[in-house]
Amino acid sequence: MIKACIFDLDGVLVDTARYHFQSWKKLTAQLGFTIEDSIEERLKGVSRMDSLNIILDQGGYKATEDEKRILASQKNDWYLESITDMNHEEVLNGVQEFIENLKENGIKMAVGSASKNAKPIIEKVGIGNYFESIVDGNMVIKTKPDPEVFLKAASDLDVEPGEAIVFEDSYKGIEAANTGGFYSVGIGLESNLSNARLVIPNFIGHNFESITAALKS
């Protein structure tokens, strides 16, 4: 029996990916190289430092650990600047109706995100009241594909992984959900999320009943 839903943040509840990517592009421009748009998929759900390593690697840029800390912090400053005016309009289409339906069905809800900025973003877009727990990148040691972030959220909600659905937009996040023993639902393209138990393009037209029925079929 499904008692809870755990949501990734970026790419599932809100569209912050473009702000992350713009800030990374600004950083690489400063360092004197450009990154391909195709790299964006690889950065989904990946921690700030791991993302920086992927980007520097692509540009063939060697940096010391101290320089990396400065670069990651510079990127985060630009990112925070760009999300200053985020508001409810940036909640992805169909999300508000979906979480409202879960609430009506008595389903517990949590967020499990790699982002260290998850809490202020959720408050800014005005959906904080729906979630009993927000587990962010500051609260875990192991990053996705390790299931720690989702296991912590399930424990906060007092449910077993087998009683919860995880919604994720990244391959690594789906892997984390599967390893943790959760039902995994991918948000996006089947071709990027082939490891998910179910893939939907977005939440438009979905409710608790339609998702649980699709997971059982």
| CA–CA gap between residue 38 and residue 48 (Å, rounded) | 18
Nearer to Mg ion, 8 or 156 (CB): 8
Work out whether 128 is an interface residue with ligand B16 (CB under 6 A): no
| CA–CA gap between residue 149 and residue 8 (Å, rounded) | 10
Work out whether 44 is an interface residue with ligand B16 (CB under 6 A): yes
Is 10 marked active-site? yes
Chain positions contacting Mg ion, by CB under 5 A? 8, 10-11, 45, 169
Nearer to ligand B16, 10 or 156 (CB): 10
CB-neighbour burial class of residue 209 (10 A; exposed 0-12, middle 13-18, buried 19+): exposed
Residues 178-207 that bind ligand B16 (CB under 6 A): none
Q: Contacting ligand B16 (CB under 6 A), which of 47, 53, 96, 101? A: 47
Which residues, listed in sequence order, are joined to residue 111 by a DSSP beta bridge?
A: 7, 134
CB-neighbour burial class of residue 7 (10 A; exposed 0-12, middle 13-18, buried 19+): buried
Q: Contacting ligand B16 (CB under 6 A), which of 2, 5, 19, 20? A: 20
| CA–CA gap between residue 37 and residue 49 (Å, rounded) | 19
Residues 91-120 that bind ligand B16 (CB under 6 A): 113-117
**Secondary element (H or E) of residue 185:** strand 183-187
Q: Contacting ligand B16 (CB under 6 A), which of 27, 35, 43, 83? A: 43
Q: Contacting ligand B16 (CB under 6 A), which of 5, 46, 166, 199? A: 46
Is 158 marked active-site? no
Q: Contacting ligand B16 (CB under 6 A), which of 76, 96, 192, 202? A: 76
Of 157, 179, 169, 182, the residue nearest 17 (C-alpha): 169
> Least separation, in Å, of the C-beta of 170 and Mg ion?
5
Q: Contacting ligand B16 (CB under 6 A), which of 2, 5, 8, 175? A: 8
CB-neighbour burial class of residue 140 (10 A; exposed 0-12, middle 13-18, buried 19+): buried
Nearer to ligand B16, 107 or 174 (CB): 174
Sole window of 25-33, 41-49, 97-105, 187-195 interacting with ligand B16 (rule: CB under 6 A): 41-49
∠109-111-114 over CA atoms, to 5°? 165
Alpha helices for 60-186 (secondary structure H): 65-82, 95-104, 118-124, 148-157, 171-180
> Which residues would be at the binding site for ligand B16 (CB under 6 A)?
8-11, 20, 43-48, 51, 76, 113-117, 137
Q: Which residue numbers are catalytic?
A: 8, 10
